[in-house]
Amino acid sequence: MPFIECHIAAGLAPARREQLIRDIIQVTHDTIGSDPKIINVILHEHPRENISVSSRINGEDFRQSNTP
């Protein structure tokens, strides 16, 4: 029983979120053959300012602070 968690930036339209979930289910089914009825998907939406990707914060490169 696959259980997939996906963390994304908040702001997707409801229809796009639904399509994303459907796509994740389809890819999982196609890849490992699981029955779609037993594939579980949870989307966690986070404010963009709470996300750092590749050490970038709000789109800017990480700058080390001088505080101890």
Which pLDDT tens digit goes with each residue over 7-19?
Answer: 999 999 999 999 9
Strand partners, 18: none
The SS3 call for residue 53 is: strand
Domains and CATH numbers, the chain: 16-54 (3.30.429.10)
**How far is the C-alpha of 17 from the C-alpha of 50, rounded, in Å?**
19
Q: Looking at residue 59, what is its pLDDT?
A: 74
For residue 51, the tally of other CB atoms under 10 A from its CB is: 14
Which pLDDT tens digit goes with each residue over 27-60?
Answer: 999 999 999 999 999 999 999 888 888 888 877 8
For residue 50, the tally of other CB atoms under 10 A from its CB is: 8
Q: Is the pTM of this model over 0.95?
A: no
**Cβ neighbours of residue 48 under 8 Å, at least 6 residues apart?**
9, 10, 11, 58
